[in-house]
Amino acid sequence: MPIHNRDKFLSNLAANLGRPRKIEGVERPEYSVQPQYEVLQGASQDELIDVLEKHCEVIHTDFVRTSKQELPNVVRQTIDRYEAKSIIVSNDKRNVEYGMDQAYNQYAEELDMHIWDASIGKENQVIAEKADVGISFSDITLAESGTVTLKNDKNNGRSISLMPKSYIAIIPKETIVPRMTQAAKQIHDDHVNGIETPSSVCFVTGPSNSADIEMNLIVGVHGPVNVTYIVVD
């Protein structure tokens, strides 16, 4: 049985609250204030990109803005800047749409390229662990905090953004929203409309860091040491 001790546990809570147990019929109240929707309200997409760019300085993340045509070159330049030899990328439909499928073929002539492949199982993790760079698309991008939202699935493993030494996020311009409010609303609405929540949603804001040693900021404690965002118009 997958649920243990529930009835006794919950009855005790209800008793302490001095009422019978509630199993249905609870509605979220209209909260008296909703400040979260006021942040960057009415900002244009270009203004949001400016906010994102500015916040990248705070979160130790490199920011590049480019066109669809230039994207393969810009990604390649970033890889070279990291002096990377091995790359792991998501098997994303958008690879074709953004011309990255051809680019990856081309890079493969000189670099060790791996496209996430569900059929080889855990081997993907081993490859990710050794890779110099991981590359994937942002699903929702939060301007205010400089965050990429990664909805992981079988073609886009969590390891890609996490295990390699450097991470590159490709950010389609239209994925940019003011803040986490809009991302949470989208996932909430999806759930209400019967679309399953992904098994993992990661909000990644720059490189992994820690302030645990004398409060010095150290970058790359567990996850990537370098992060670049590439916004594509």
Partner 1 sequence: MSVKIGDVSYKDRIDKGIENDFMRQAVSSAQGRFRKGRLSQAEELGNWEDWRQLGSEIRTHTLENIDYYLYQLSEQVEKRGGNVFFAQTAEEANEYIENVVKKKQAKKVVKTKSMVTEEIGLNEALEKSGAEVVESDLGEWILQLDEDPPSHIVTPALHKNRQQIRETFADKRGYDKTDSPEELAAFAREQLRHDFLTADVGITGCNFAIAESGAITLVTNEGNAEMVTSLPDTQITVMGMERLVPTWEDMEVLVSLLTRAAVGQKLTSYITAYTGTRLEEEIDGPNDYHLVIVDNGRSKILGTEFQSALHCIRCAACINVCPVYRHVGGHAYNSIYPGPIGAVLTPLLDGYDDHKELPYASSLCAACTEACPVKIPLHEQLIRHREIIVEEEKKSPVSEKIMMKGFAQWASNPAAYKLSTKVARTALKPWTKDEFVENGPGPLKGWTDVRDFPAPGKQSFRAWWNERAKGEKQNANS
12-51 positions binding partner 1, by CB under 8 A: 12-14, 16-18, 21-24, 26, 28-29, 31-36, 38-39
By CB under 8 A, residue 108 contacts partner 1: no
- Rounded to an integer, what distance in angstroms lies between the CA atom of residue 35 and that of residue 188? 18
Partners of residue 152 on adjacent β-strands:
200
Q: Compare residues 6 and 69 and give the one whose CB is closer to partner 1.
A: 6
User: First CA to last CA across the chain, in angstroms?
Assistant: 51
- Rounded to an integer, what distance in angstroms lies between the CA atom of residue 145 and that of residue 134? 21
Task: Report the nearest approach of partner 1 to the CB of residue 164 (Å).
Answer: 12
Task: Report the nearest approach of partner 1 to the CB of residue 32 (Å).
Answer: 6
CB 112 within 8 A of CB 123: no
Q: Residues 50-89: x/- map of binding to partner 1 (CB under 8 A)?
A: -----x---x------------------------------
Q: Which residues in the 151-170 window bind partner 1 by CB under 8 A?
A: 152-154, 157-159, 162
Which run of H or E residues covers position 150?
strand 147-152
Nearest to 204 by CA among 150, 158, 156, 125: 150
By CB under 8 A, residue 194 contacts partner 1: no
The residue range among 42-50, 78-86, 87-95, 180-188 that interacts with partner 1, by the rule CB under 8 A, is 180-188
The residue range among 72-80, 88-96, 101-109, 177-185 that interacts with partner 1, by the rule CB under 8 A, is 177-185
The two structure tokens encoding residue 124? 């993907």
The residue range among 74-82, 83-91, 93-101, 176-184 that interacts with partner 1, by the rule CB under 8 A, is 176-184
Q: Compare residues 23 and 67 and give the one whose CB is closer to partner 1.
A: 23
Q: Any idea what the Cα angle at residue 105 is, between residues 121 and 232, rounded to 5°?
A: 95
**How many residues contact partner 1, by CB under 8 A?**
84
- Rounded to an integer, what distance in angstroms lies between the CA atom of residue 154 and that of residue 94? 15
